[in-house]
Structure 1
Amino acid sequence: MKPASRAGAWLAIALGSLYFLLPLIATFEFSLRMRRESYSLEAYRVVLTDPGFQSAFGYSILMALLTVITSIVLVVPTACWIELRLPRMRPVIEFITLLPLVIPAIIIVFGYLRLYNSSSWLPLTGNERATDLLLICSYVTLSLPYMYRSVHSGLRAIDVRTLTEASESLGAGWFTTLAHVIAPALKSAILSGSFLTFAVVIGEFTMASLLNRPAFGPYLQLIGANRAYEPSALAVIAFLVTWASMGLIQVVSRNAAGAGAKRRLPGA
C-alpha cells in the first residue's frame, strides 16, 4: 500500500472513531457531574439502586433470553430443513426474514394489537402473561434477520448434507441429527445470532412501550423525560451492554476460526 493511501486510511479510521466516540465520551463526562463540585459516580449509584431500574432491566434480560431461546428453536430447524429439503425456497425465506428490516416496528406492533386485542378471536392483551408472550413473539420477529442470517451463514460454511446423511446412515433420526450433529457444528453461528438478538432486544422501545410492558427501553425514555444526569448514566450502561455483546461475537468468531484452522492442520 502506498504511503498516501495508508495515511488516507488511517485518517478515515481516526475521523470515524472520533465521530462515534466523542458523543459517548461527552455523555459519560456529563453523567459524572451530578455532584456539582467534583466528578463522581453518583448518577450510576442512583440508577443502579433504583428499584425501577432493577425491575425494568431484569425484565428486559428475561425477555431477551426467552427471545433467544425461541429464535433458536424456530430458526435452526427451519434453516436446516430449507437447506436440505427445500433449496428452491431459500430466496423466498431470505426475503421473508428481511421484511422486519423494511417494515417499521411500530407498524408490526400495531398489527399485533389489531389482531390480538381483547375483542379479537385470540386475545393476548387481556392479561400480563399473554402480553409478555406477544412481546416475545414481537421480539422474535424483530430479531429474525440477524438470527437467520447468522445460522444460514453457518450452514453454508459446513457440509450439512454430508453430516446429515452420515448420521442417518448410522440410524439417527432427524431430531437426534439436529441436536447432536448439526447444532454443535453451528455453535459459533448460533451464539453470534444470540448475542445480536440480545443486543437488539435489551434496548428496544417501540414494541414494549405500545404493549405497555415494563422493559428497559420505556424506563430509559421515562427517566430521560424527568431527570438530567441519570439518563446519561443509563445511556452509557446501554452502550456497554451492546458493546459487550458485539465483543462476545468477535471472541466466538475468532475461537471458531482458530478451531477450524487447527482441524485443517495435518495431524491435528
Structure 2
Amino acid sequence: MKRSSVWAWITIIVGAAYFFLPLIATLEFSLRMRRGEYSLDAYRIVFGDERFQATFGYSVMIAIFTIILGVLIVVPTAYWIRLRMPWIRPVVEFITLLPLIIPAIVIVFGYIRMYGSNSPLPFLGSARGTDLLLTIGYATLALPYMYRAVDTGLRTIDVRTLTEAAQILGAGWTTIIARIILPNVLIAVLSGAFLTFAIVIGEFTMASLLNRPAFGPYLQNIGANRAYEPAALAVIAFAITWGCMSVIQVLSRFAPKSANRPN
C-alpha cells in the first residue's frame, strides 16, 4: 500500500509538472518585455489594443448566441428522449459525438460550398448571414459537451413524475420545459454553457475561413508578428478557460445528489 501511494504521488507530480511548467514559463516570458526587469507592459499593450477589444467582444457575443441556440436545441431533445424515446438514445449519442470525429475544417468547407454566393441560400453574401452560420457551426462543435451535460442533469431528476404532475395541473409542453425541467437542470445547462463559451473563445478554423473578426484568428495573427504579446494572450486565454472550469466545479456542488433516483 505504501509503495502504491508513493507511485501515485509521483504520477501526480509528474503530471502537474508536465502541465504547469510550460504555463509558468509562458507567464514568466510574458513579463520580460522590459529588458532586465519584470513588467506588465505586454498585458497593457494587449488590453489597450482596439483589435483585442473588438475581437474579444465579437467572440463573447457569438458565444452567447451559441449558448442560447444550444440550449434551445439540446434541452427539449434530451428531455423528450428520456421521457418518450429512450430506445433512440444510443443513436443520438452517436450523432452528438460526430463533431469530435469530423474536423471543423470539413464542416466550414461544407458551409462554403452550400451557402456561397452561387447557392440558393447565399448566407455568406452578408455579414449577418455569415455570423449565423458561424453560430450554428459553434453550436455543432459544442454539441457533445452540451448534450452530455444536460443528459447528466436529467438523470438526477424524476422526469416522468414531474411531467405527469405538471400535466395534471394543466401545463403545456412549453411550460413544462421552460418552467419545470429547465430550472431543475439549470446547473447542468450552465456547465455546458461555460464549456461552450471556452470553445468559442479559442476556436480558430471556422472564424478564419469564414473571415470573421473573432478572438481565435486575432491570437494567431498576433502570434505570427509579435513576441511578448502572444505569451500574454496565451496566459489570458488559459485564465479564461480555467475560470470557466472553476465556475463549473463550483456550480457542480449545487447540483442535485439524487443521481440514482428512478426515472
What is the RMSD of the two structures over their aligned residues, measured on CA atoms? 1.2
Match in the other structure for 1:132: 131
Match in the other structure for 1:157: 156
Cα distance in 1 for residues equivalent to 2:51 and 2:186: 35
Q: Deviations over 1:53-102 (max 9, x none)?
A: 00001111111111011100111011111111222211111111110000
1:229 shift after superposition: 0.4
Cα distance in 2 for residues equivalent to 1:187 and 1:137: 22
1:168 shift after superposition: 0.5
1:159 shift after superposition: 1.1
Q: Deviations over 1:147-199 (max 9, x none)?
A: 00101111122111111011111111111111111111101110111111111
1:255 shift after superposition: 2.0
Contact 2:150 2:189 (8 Å CA) reproduced? yes
Compute the TM-score of the two structures, normalised by the length of structure 1: 0.94
Instruction: Look up the equivalent residue of 2:39 and give its one-letter code.
Output: S
Cα distance in 2 for residues equivalent to 1:148 and 1:54: 31
1:247 shift after superposition: 0.3
Match in the other structure for 1:167: 166
Cα distance in 2 for residues equivalent to 1:184 and 1:255: 13
- In the alignment, does 2:81 pair up with 1:82? yes
Match in the other structure for 1:204: 203
Instruction: Look up the equivalent residue of 1:122 and give its one-letter code.
Output: L
Contact 2:104 2:205 (8 Å CA) reproduced? yes
Match in the other structure for 2:72: 73
Cα distance in 2 for residues equivalent to 1:255 and 1:174: 27
Cα distance in 2 for residues equivalent to 1:229 and 1:165: 60
Q: Deviations over 1:33-70 (max 9, x none)?
A: 11012100000000000001000011111111110111
Cα distance in 1 for residues equivalent to 2:121 and 2:138: 19
Match in the other structure for 1:231: 230
Cα distance in 2 for residues equivalent to 1:17 and 1:171: 55
**Structure 1, unaligned stretches of length 5 or more?**
none
Cα distance in 2 for residues equivalent to 1:146 and 1:112: 22
Compute the TM-score of the two structures, normalised by the length of structure 2: 0.96
Cα distance in 1 for residues equivalent to 2:255 and 2:79: 20
Cα distance in 2 for residues equivalent to 1:174 and 1:228: 55
Where 1:248 maps in the other structure, the secondary structure is helix
Following TM superposition, the consecutive aligned residue runs of length 4 or more in structure 1 with deviations greater than 6 angstroms are none
Instruction: Look up the equivalent residue of 2:253 and give its one-letter code.
Output: R
Instruction: Look up the equivalent residue of 2:180 and give its one-letter code.
Output: V
Residue identity (%): 65
Cα distance in 2 for residues equivalent to 1:40 and 1:255: 40
1:211 shift after superposition: 0.3
Instruction: Look up the equivalent residue of 2:201 and give its one-letter code.
Output: I
Instruction: Look up the equivalent residue of 2:34 and give its one-letter code.
Output: R
Match in the other structure for 1:43: 42
Count of residue pairs the alignment pairs up: 259
Cα distance in 2 for residues equivalent to 1:184 and 1:40: 46
Q: Deviations over 1:103-153 (max 9, x none)?
A: 011111111111110110111111111100010000000000000010111
